[in-house]
Amino acid sequence: MENKILQTDLPDVLALAYLGDAIFSHAVRRRLVARGISRNGELTRLSLAYVTAEAQSEGFGLIEPTLSDDEKAVAHRASNSGHLNRPRHASPADYRRATALEALLGMLEVTGQTERLQEILDRLLDGLAHRETALP
């Protein structure tokens, strides 16, 4: 039986997204360094394949069908948050989906679901790796 998470026991979804942003960025950096890439400029360039709102929106689409009801609820609340400060270069739809992804990652961290968090991070990073070839 799935353990239900009380949404009221969680931090605000934007705080979860803040945490999730750091988790995702760290996972990207860890993966790039593990590949043996050591030049700072190359690391920064390659990380852009993953950490933009457009990339994270695509990544959310990759994992969305596998989400539990609790995970969907957090993602939905985050994507509907009215206080999003969207950067000029991101579409509103991409930014909302990226925020949903980040809040989901933050929720998994806060609730101690480390195996699920790692499963999702692996699926995201594997699924977005193709974006590296499209970089200038």
Phi first, then psi: give them for residue 23, nearest 5 degrees: -65, -45
Note if 21 is an active site residue.
yes
On whether the CB atoms of residues 53 and 98 are closer than 8 A, the answer is yes
d(C-alpha 30, C-alpha 51), whole Å: 13
Catalytic residue among 12, 21, 70, 94: 21
Long-range contacts for 20-23 (Cβ within 8 Å, ≥24 apart)?
Answer: 20/101, 20/102, 20/103, 20/104, 20/105, 20/106, 20/107, 20/109, 21/102, 23/105, 23/106, 23/109, 23/117, 23/121
- How far apart are the C-alpha atoms of 62 and 57, rounded to whole Å? 9
Q: Mind telling me the catalytic residues?
A: 21
